[in-house]
Amino acid sequence: MSDLSGLNPEQRKAAATLRGPVLILAGAGTGKTRTLTHRVAHMVSEGISPGRILAVTFTNKAAREMQQRVTKQLKRLPKSLTREDGKPLKPTICTFHSLCVRILRRHIEKLGYKRNFVIYSDSEQLGVVKKVLSAIAGKDVKADARELQGLLSRLKNAGPNGNVPGNEDSLAMAGHIRRRYDSALRAANAVDFDDLLVLTLRVFNEFPEALEECRARYQYVMVDEYQDTNAAQFELMHLLSAEHRNVCVVGDDDQSIYGWRGAEISNILDMEKHFPEVKVIKLEQNYRSTRVILDAANAVIKNNPRRRPKQLWSAKGAGDLLRLESFANEEEEARTIVDEIEFNRMAKRIPWKDHAILFRTNVQSRPLETALRKAEVRYHLIGGQSFFDRREIRDFLAFMKTFINPNDDASLLRIANIPARGLSDVTMERLLGASQERDCSVWKAMKNDLVIHEFQPRTRKSIEAFVGLIEDFRAPLGETELSLASWADKFLDEIDYAAELRKGEKDPENAENRMRNLRDLISTMDDRGGALLPANRLGKFLDDITLDADREADKEDAGDAVTLITTHSCKGLEFPHVFLVGVEEGLLPHSRSAVEGTLDEERRLFYVAITRAMKTLTISHCLNRKKYGQNFLCHPSSFLKELPEELCEDLDSKKEPITVEAGKNLFAAMREGLG
């Protein structure tokens, strides 16, 4: 018999309830994975063959972690329980999609495919969409291939009766091309990622013997993160478990934050509709956070009308009050947070890795990254690409470097054909070869009549137009009164870079966000350099934000580094000291929530962010924020009013000018902390 003595009473109940439908409501930080692994071990100790157990989760990482923990637990049991015919047996622990691959490799021939089907990558799927569009769309038809690719995915996962929000014209086009798209894949004996679920459901619905075979094998089904399942995943789980009804789903409706990608919170809220006899077990003892943090989280989430009531509690003690603070703008917010992190490190010996900064949207990382880099603080970004590594930022910086020094071959080669202007890779390779032969830069080769004379007239014209573009925009850099921000904006408009971004994005909003990233960066170009000539100010601007190789190496170091992370990516993680920034109307909750009716999900996102904190939580908002290079008035999030006053410390009321004496005391404390 497995040892359940290390579990609390509710965890033991969850681990020991083996038969029939079970819903384990596992609140944040309540030891869900520990409970599940003990449950599997207990099943085996009670005579259930490991080969009959199926545990499904959402990511390969989660599946690997659970497999490792389960293997460790099973090693403590007698070998007779985990072996059959002399062979070791282990539970099937995998993602939904890997489970479907196993099933389809065995049964897909029933649908007319060959067993050696291939799974198309994202780029291969996009290629098929473009091919279909070229076959059906005339020159007058405007269609974004990437947008249609995303809509096709959502249509498949929603099921035949599902509702997919989106632009009506785009949805109609996606529906129109879907049959042709599916036919093209089938002709190639290929499936896409979403087909794995859709085709498995077809096999089960059209060939009952295949479903019975899977039911006979997997007599005990467990589904982790059940609040994140979509319509197709729910149907798959329901079909597998409808007969034996030994299904255990684990999740937390309060942490359902992926509705935008198809997750159905109703799957966990309406469990009793499908399994009336379900046993509901709540895990409410939190092992992560202090009582103050949990009381604040409980107070916020209770405002959601449709949820399963639960009350997280902790034996860790009250802990520090939540810290609330407002700032004039995002730059001040970033600088202050970085200063506090550095004070904690030097005076309190709290390492960087114990700190995390959470934000709602990726664009919010720019001022944070800038402040961290300036202070030489290591960090790593989770849930998004570094602001300075994004395509649009790298393109822009390459253009700016070319204006400063057109002989910078690396920068010029990057942007010569962005947007496309007839300077193909072949053309640029020839120009590079010519520059090497003459021991000069590519720029000088482009200005050499003897070199460009070797090209066709059309290509020659493209080279000359590019040279003219660079020279025209270099010329104003000698004008004393030039605004770099206005000059850069004019340049982006001249080359219509916004259209270039729209071409490469399946979601129009992503293109807008990328353009917003650029405008926000451009708005800072006049903040430094003072009376310097524009060319020198531009050089200083580039010097300040260009990364050196050593800093990049630091960023990749997953050791002692501050974590920057989006609120959507932070679920499942925990940090001793958390800074939640930009808690403003329009950001959290997002401006779309009022239109889309997703305010409850935004509140759940706020709840998830709060419950990442173990010891301290600082929540901040700005009075002004730059958008498209302009300052906009901001208002504190309505969620802040839901935090009980007695749990919060208003730092604004304590702000005082720093005196010389206070500064000396602070410095002394830091020195003492460093030893």
**191 DSSP β-pair partners:** 119
Q: What is the structure's pLDDT at 383?
A: 66
Question: Is pLDDT above 80 for 547?
Answer: no
Report, as an integer, the average pLDDT of 414-428: 89
Q: What is the structure's pLDDT at 245?
A: 94
139 — pLDDT class (breaks 50, 70, 90): very low
Q: What is the structure's pLDDT at 559?
A: 83
Q: Bigger pLDDT: 33 or 654?
A: 33
Distance between CA atoms of residues 191 and 474, nearest Å: 50
328: which 2 tokens?
A: 């004039």
557 — pLDDT class (breaks 50, 70, 90): very low
Residue 456, helix vs strand vs coil: coil
- How do residues 83-135 score in pLDDT, each as one tens digit? 666 667 889 999 898 899 889 989 999 998 887 777 777 767 887 888 788 77
- How do residues 236-252 score in pLDDT, each as one tens digit? 999 999 999 999 999 99
Task: Look at the pTM and tell me if it is higher than 0.85.
Answer: no
- How do residues 481-507 score in pLDDT, each as one tens digit? 888 999 999 999 999 998 888 887 766
Question: Is pLDDT above 80 for 617?
Answer: yes
Residue 190, helix vs strand vs coil: strand
Question: Is pLDDT above 80 for 671?
Answer: no
Residue 82, helix vs strand vs coil: helix
Question: Is pLDDT above 90 for 167?
Answer: no
Q: Bigger pLDDT: 187 or 55?
A: 55
- How do residues 344-376 score in pLDDT, each as one tens digit? 999 999 999 999 999 998 888 889 998 998 899
Cβ pair 428, 417 in contact under 8 A = yes
Report, as an integer, the average pLDDT of 319-339: 95
Percent of the chain with pLDDT over 90: 51
Nearest Cα to Cα of residue 90 among 103, 77, 102: 77
Q: What is the structure's pLDDT at 549?
A: 27
Q: What is the structure's pLDDT at 184?
A: 82
Cβ pair 256, 227 in contact under 8 A = yes
Report, as an integer, the average pLDDT of 260-286: 92
- Interior angle at CA 78, CA 75 and CA 83, nearest 5: 85
Q: What is the structure's pLDDT at 407?
A: 83
Percent of the chain with pLDDT over 70: 88
| Residue bearing tokens 């499904």 | 56
**649 DSSP β-pair partners:** 323
Distance between CA atoms of residues 569 and 366, nearest Å: 17
Q: What is the structure's pLDDT at 338?
A: 96
Handedness of CA 539, 544, 545, 547 (dihedral sign): positive
Q: What backbone phi and psi angles, to 5 degrees, belong to 583?
A: -85, 80
Report, as an integer, the average pLDDT of 49-76: 87
Question: Is pLDDT above 90 for 314?
Answer: yes
Distance between CA atoms of residues 547 and 555, nearest Å: 11
- How do residues 620-648 score in pLDDT, each as one tens digit? 999 999 876 678 899 999 999 999 999 99
Q: What is the structure's pLDDT at 479?
A: 82
Residue 118, helix vs strand vs coil: strand
Helices (H), 137-207: 145-158, 168-187, 195-206
Q: What is the structure's pLDDT at 506?
A: 65
Distance between CA atoms of residues 22 and 281, nearest Å: 8
Q: What is the structure's pLDDT at 543?
A: 61
Distance between CA atoms of residues 612 and 358, nearest Å: 10
516: which 2 tokens?
A: 């917003």
Report, as an integer, the average pLDDT of 63-83: 81
Question: Is pLDDT above 70 for 669?
Answer: no
- How do residues 439-459 score in pLDDT, each as one tens digit? 888 999 999 999 999 999 999
Highest mean pLDDT among 21-30, 162-171, 256-265: 21-30
Q: What is the structure's pLDDT at 654?
A: 64
Report, as an integer, the average pLDDT of 251-264: 89
Which stretch of DSSP H or E encloses residue 93?
A: strand 92-95
Q: What type of residue sits at position 490? A: K
Distance between CA atoms of residues 655 and 503, nearest Å: 48
Q: Which of 42-51, 70-79, 577-586, 599-608 has the lowest mean pLDDT?
A: 70-79
Distance between CA atoms of residues 24 and 247, nearest Å: 11
Cβ pair 588, 582 in contact under 8 A = yes
Contacting residues for 233 by C-beta, under 8 A, at least 6 apart: 96, 197
Q: What is the structure's pLDDT at 556?
A: 41
Mean pLDDT of the chain: 86
Highest mean pLDDT among 304-318, 404-418, 428-442: 304-318
Distance between CA atoms of residues 287 and 32, nearest Å: 11
| Residue bearing tokens 């009952």 | 208
Q: Which of 158-172, 177-191, 434-448 has the lowest mean pLDDT?
A: 158-172
481: which 2 tokens?
A: 């009164």
Q: Are strands 575-580 and 613-622 parallel, antiparallel or unpaired?
A: parallel
Beta-strand ranges (E) seen in 298-418 are 322-327, 355-359, 379-382
Q: What is the structure's pLDDT at 82?
A: 65
Question: Is pLDDT above 80 for 400?
Answer: yes
548 — pLDDT class (breaks 50, 70, 90): very low
Q: Bigger pLDDT: 9 or 592?
A: 9
Cβ pair 30, 285 in contact under 8 A = yes
| Residue bearing tokens 């259930």 | 48
Q: Are strands 220-223 and 118-119 parallel, antiparallel or unpaired?
A: unpaired
504: which 2 tokens?
A: 């490469």
Cβ pair 406, 441 in contact under 8 A = yes
Distance between CA atoms of residues 636 and 621, nearest Å: 6
CA distances from 365 to 437, 449, 602 (A): 44, 46, 19
Cβ pair 474, 464 in contact under 8 A = no
Q: What is the structure's pLDDT at 236?
A: 94
Report, as an integer, the average pLDDT of 388-409: 84
Which stretch of DSSP H or E encloses residue 247?
A: strand 247-251
Q: Is 139 exposed, middle or buried (0-12, 13-18, 19+ CB in 10 A)?
A: exposed
One-character DSSP codes across 469-504:
HHHHHHGGGG-TT--HHHHHHHHHHHHTHHHHHHHT
Q: Is 285 exposed, middle or buried (0-12, 13-18, 19+ CB in 10 A)?
A: middle
Distance between CA atoms of residues 213 and 107, nearest Å: 11
Maximal CA-CA distance, the chain = 86
* 102 secondary structure, DSSP code: H
Q: What is the structure's pLDDT at 317?
A: 93
662 — pLDDT class (breaks 50, 70, 90): low
Question: Is pLDDT above 80 for 160?
Answer: no
35: which 2 tokens?
A: 């409970």
Report, as an integer, the average pLDDT of 62-86: 79
Q: Bigger pLDDT: 41 or 595?
A: 41
Q: Which of 114-128, 419-433, 592-606, 634-648 has the lowest mean pLDDT?
A: 114-128
Q: Which of 1-10, 98-107, 249-258 has the lowest mean pLDDT?
A: 1-10
Distance between CA atoms of residues 544 and 567, nearest Å: 28
Specify the long-range contacts of residues 146-149, CB closer than 8 Å, at least 24 apart: 146/504, 146/505, 146/506, 146/507, 147/505, 147/506, 147/507, 147/508, 148/173, 148/174, 148/177, 148/506, 149/122, 149/125, 149/506
Question: Is pLDDT above 90 for 558?
Answer: no
Q: What is the structure's pLDDT at 511?
A: 80
Distance between CA atoms of residues 585 and 590, nearest Å: 7
Cβ pair 175, 155 in contact under 8 A = yes
User: What residues are annotated to the active site?
Assistant: 32-33, 224-225, 255, 612
Distance between CA atoms of residues 125 and 178, nearest Å: 12
